[in-house]
């Protein structure tokens, strides 16, 4: 199957750094240094992926609309996101006079902090995981739910009745779709038998769950993608922020760096949702094997796990972006009806089917 000694493993580099630190510094200092290194690398990861996703969104949108997109700033417009970030940093931060100052300032930080926290249990490559906790998937679901509080806080503290309306609608939408998302994740957890992210990825060594789990896994995947798009407030579910006749959403009153944090957290959330989807359904960092074709599998092994992981994540990101530029928007009542009348019953039944298949041993 896998000839480990020939592959490139990122874990070799990280274990090397770990041993070097502990050999040369006192253990307390080495721990601090490691924590700092991890924090810096996570922030860099988030920022770099946000920049890549902003650029990708604009280019993907442009190509789907028969135009070119940014192509002036930097080679092929690659520095456009940097220019956008610089612009947002230089803008004046205006706080409305009658706004609740503490909550108004706190809301963007809460939303951003929550997006970072969700990165902890994700397994990027074999051995690369910040925190291998045995309730990994549950932790991610729980932490992303806290983001709703930030949204409602932003809408309430803006002292603007249209922001409040937008925030309430956003909040209602996110809370409703969390149910279906959670249940679709549960279908896979039932088939794996563990909530730990590492266990889920390792269990896909002989095939991705979307192939092994057949019917319940495919249904769960579709529902997961739809529910994640709705939780991210992205089209076709973006009525709360693109409802041009009433309001610009919960972040109307925010400008400058605070708006940049909402913007950043939206892309980070999209990234986390796609990472979760890739981990649960598409095999995480596992390569793509076709049983029996040893030559093909050998070639697949040479691609390091981290490339597999980011490749799958970015293809899901592309899928979500594709939705935005193709479909019109749903009305708020149609949106909620979709969840409560269709997706939720289907996901509940799906969990039952998954449980039945696991007990009967009918998955691969």
Partner 1 sequence: MELTNPKLEVNEPDEEFVINVGPQHPSTHGVLHLEIKLDGEQVLDVKPNLGYIHRGIEKISESLSYKQFTYLTSRMDYLSAHINNQGCALVVEKGLEMEIPERAKVIRILMAELTRIASHQLWWGALGLDLGAVSPFFFAFREREEILEVFEETCGYRLTMNYITPGGVMQDLHPEFVPKVKKIMAELKNTMKEYDRLLTGNIIFQKRTQGVGILTKEDLVSLGITGPIARASGLSCDVRKHSPYEGYEKLDFKEILATTGDSYTRYLVRLEEMKQSIYIVEQLIDNIPEGPYREKTKAVIKLPKGEFYQKVETARGELGIYLVSDGGSKPYRLKYRTPNFSNLQALKPMVIGSKIGDLVAIMATLDLIIPDIDR
In the bound state with partner 1, the residue whose beta carbon lies nearer, of 67 and 97, is 67
Nearest C-alpha neighbor of 167 from the set 251, 97, 48: 251
Considering the complex, what minimum distance in angstroms separates the CB of residue 231 from partner 1? 18
Query: Minimum distance from CB of 69 to partner 1 (Å)?
Result: 12
The residue (of 135 and 222) whose beta carbon lies closer to partner 1 is 222
Q: How far apart are CA 364 and CA 362, in angstroms?
A: 7
Cβ neighbours for 234, distance < 8 A, ≥ 6 positions apart: 270, 320, 323, 324
Residue 182 has φ and ψ, to the nearest 5°, of: -60, -40
Kind plus residue range of the DSSP H or E element containing 114: helix 101-117
The binding site for partner 1 (CB under 8 A) comprises 61, 64-67, 235-236, 238-239, 242-246, 325-334
Q: Report residue 265 as tokens.
A: 């957290």
Burial class (CB in 10 A: 0-12, 13-18, 19+), 360: exposed
In DSSP terms, which residues pair with 123 in a beta bridge?
129
Q: Based on CB atoms, which residue is closest to partner 1, 331 or 341?
A: 331
| Residue 68 beta carbon to partner 1: minimum distance, rounded to whole angstroms | 12
Taking the least distance from each CB to partner 1, the nearer of 131 and 322 is 322
Please tell me the distance from the alpha carbon of residue 21 to that of residue 66, in angstroms, as a whole number. Answer: 52
**In the complex with partner 1, which residue's Cβ is closer, 327 or 356?**
327
CB of 318 to partner 1, least distance (A): 15
Q: What is the CA radius of gyration of the chain?
A: 22
Q: Which is nearer to partner 1, 114 or 335 (CB)?
A: 335
CA 239 vs CA 145, 252, 327, 330, 340: distances in Å: 20, 14, 12, 7, 17
Could you tell me the smallest distance in angstroms from the CB atom of residue 246 to partner 1? 7
Write down the least CB distance from residue 325 to partner 1, Å.
5
Q: How many CB atoms lie within 10 A of CB 78?
A: 15
Smaller CB distance to partner 1: residue 9 or 324?
324
Q: How far is the CB of 330 from partner 1 (least distance, A)?
A: 6
């Amino acid at each position: 199957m896998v000839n480990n000694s020939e592959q490139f493993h990122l874990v070799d580099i990280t274990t090397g750094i770990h041993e070097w630190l502990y050999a040369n510094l006192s253990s307390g200092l080495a721990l601090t240094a490691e924590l700092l290194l991890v924090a810096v690398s996570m922030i860099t990861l988030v920022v770099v992926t946000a920049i890549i996703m902003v650029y990708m969104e604009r280019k993907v949108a442009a190509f789907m609309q028969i135009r070119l997109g940014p192509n002036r700033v930097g080679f092929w417009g690659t520095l456009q996101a940097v220019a956008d970030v610089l612009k947002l940093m230089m803008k004046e931060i205006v706080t409305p006079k009658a706004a609740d100052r503490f909550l108004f300032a706190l809301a963007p930080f809460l939303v951003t902090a929550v997006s970072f926290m969700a990165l902890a249990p994700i397994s990027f490559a074999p051995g690369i995981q910040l925190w291998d906790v045995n309730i990994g998937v549950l932790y991610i679901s729980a932490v992303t739910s806290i983001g709703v509080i930030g949204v409602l806080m932003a809408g309430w503290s803006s002292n603007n009745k249209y922001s409040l309306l937008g925030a309430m609608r956003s909040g209602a939408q996110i809370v409703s779709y969390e149910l279906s998302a959670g249940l679709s994740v549960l279908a896979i957890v039932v088939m794996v038998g563990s909530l730990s992210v590492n266990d889920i990825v390792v269990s896909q060594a002989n095939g991705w769950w979307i192939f092994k789990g057949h019917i319940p896994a495919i249904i769960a995947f579709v529902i997961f993608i739809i529910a994640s798009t709705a939780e991210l407030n992205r089209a076709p579910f973006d009525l709360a922020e693109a409802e041009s006749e009433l309001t610009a959403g919960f972040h109307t009153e925010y400008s400058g760096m605070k708006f940049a944090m909402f913007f950043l957290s939206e892309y980070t959330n999209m990234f986390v949702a796609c990472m979760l989807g890739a981990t649960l359904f598409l095999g995480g960092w596992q390569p793509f094997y076709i049983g029996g074709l040893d030559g093909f599998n050998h070639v697949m092994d040479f691609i390091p796990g981290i490339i597999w992981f980011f490749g799958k994540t970015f293809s899901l990101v592309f899928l979500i972006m594709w939705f935005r530029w193709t479909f019109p928007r749903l009305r708020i009542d149609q949106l909620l009806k979709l969840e409560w009348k269709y997706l939720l019953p289907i996901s509940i039944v799906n969990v039952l089917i998954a449980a039945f298949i696991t007990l009967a041993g009918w998955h691969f």
